[in-house]
Amino acid sequence: MAQELLLSVDDAIEYVRNNVKVGDTLEISYNRIFAPGEVLSIIEEDEVTGEGLRVNLQLNGEILNQAVEIDFKEIYDDLLEMNHITDDEEITIEIDF
């Protein structure tokens, strides 16, 4: 059974920080991009470089199957929705504007 949450962008990023683990599936929708993939790593913010919380994903797909790094600071204003899928549950996070 899928659970739905309505969160602010800050709360959604905090959710990723506290709940998403390596090996989970994370589907991120921002701007006009849909990036579904397996979480390879989660990298905390870096105040020296100014980078935000970053998630490395191995994208799912038959044509496009590559690793990407998504910086939540860069997509902050464009984040629309995320699906967090584990072996036990699926959580849909909608962004409240």
Report which of 48, 46, 56, 42 is spatially closest to residue 14, judged by C-alpha positions. Answer: 42
Is residue 57 within 8 A of residue 71, CB to CB? The reply is no
Comparing CA positions, the residue from 43, 50, 58, 36 lying closest to residue 13 is: 43
As given in the structure block, the two tokens for residue 6 are 């309505």
What pLDDT does 1 receive? 66
Q: Which residues, listed in sequence order, are joined to residue 38 by a DSSP beta bridge?
A: 25, 58
Beta bridge partners of 4: 92
Q: How confident is the model at residue 63 (pLDDT cuts 50, 70, 90)?
A: low
- Burial class, 82, CB count within 10 angstroms (exposed 0-12 / middle 13-18 / buried 19+): buried
Give pTM, 2 decimals. 0.90
pLDDT in tens, 7-39: 999 999 999 999 999 999 999 999 999 999 999
Three-state DSSP state, 59: strand
